[in-house]
Amino acid sequence: MKTHNTILITGGAGFIGSNLCEYFLGLGYKVVCLDNFSTGHHHNLKDFIADDNFKLIEGDIRNIADCIEAVQGVDYVLHEAALGSVPRSINDPITTNDVNVSGFLNMLVASRDAKVKRFVYAASSSTYGDSEGLPKVEDVIGKPLSPYAITKYVNELYADIFSRTYGLETIGLRYFNVFGRKQDPKGAYAAVIPKFVMQLMALESPLINGDGNFSRDFTYIDNVIQMNALAIATENPEAINTVYNTAYGDRNTLNNLVDYLKEYLSEYNAEIASVEIVYGPNRAGDIPHSLASIDKAKKLLGYDPKYSLQGGLKEAVSWYWNNLK
């Protein structure tokens, strides 16, 4: 890979974005980070903020001027900026739409006008909605079940139009339940894995929504990094202007997840093994089961995920114990 290419990572101070910043700086890329720090954190940038190849722009994708500034001289865009969380979108659909749809469109327009080579964006498994078939295959989706899911589907529609109408190369990565180092365990909308880890470390009982038999294709951050790198690198015309499942290709129930967490965390504190689990009502907008087919990514991008749920959890648990205990 060329070392003089410049990548813009929107939401670069967030969980996935900061991991991508670190990875591409390590490869010798110049990296621009655009973030408004609504959900991202300065401490996620501390290991590379002083790197000469790193530039931070504190701005908002809802402001077109910030988007235009950020794409200047950029070869690739990795668009990670979004307001995640199904419950947040149900509580505040207007802000979710403003960020995820209007902000996304701003970034597409700015990238088109700056003649960015390729626009790779975070899509979502929530796009599959009420489609019941497993595994999830990219070209078979259902009706969205939340405002968040609608916004992520609209992203795919806009990206497709910009590819067809303006010739902007786009690749969407439908993330499936990403977890790993730097994922924020705090706040009302914290993802389930870091939230459970912190509760177990404090010897508090995690609350599972439902009976724990809902299943997910949990995807470790390094698998996601690999997909973003492949999306930037590919020169296969068939691999561009489409969407890919970004997952491991296996599913585990929430009960399985908690069992693994208790097992791995109890190596640090034996008391964690005896923490009881609490069950509550199902959450509105949740998809019961999620499992990705990763055949398309394997075939067209050469995707080869290295981390299963268990392998990723061992890494994540170690990071949380050493950084947040």
Point out the residues that are catalytic: 148
Greatest alpha-carbon span in the chain = 59
- Could you identify the residue written with the tokens 């009706």? 143
Non-local (6+) Cβ contacts of 134 within 8 A are: 251, 289, 291
Q: Helices in 43-146 by DSSP H: which ranges?
A: 64-70, 86-91, 93-97, 103-113
φ, ψ for residue 131, nearest 5 deg: -65, 125
CA-wise closest residue to 94 among 148, 143, 40, 144? 148
Cα–Cα dist 79/122, whole Å: 6
φ, ψ for residue 120, nearest 5 deg: -105, 130
Cα–Cα dist 301/230, whole Å: 6
E-state strands within 16-127: 30-35, 54-58, 76-79, 118-124
Amino acid of residue 87 = P
* 228 alpha carbon, distance to own chain's centre: 11
As beta bridge partners, residue 10 has 34, 79
Non-local (6+) Cβ contacts of 50 within 8 A are: none
Q: Which two tokens stand for residue 243?
A: 């969407």
Amino acid of residue 233 = A
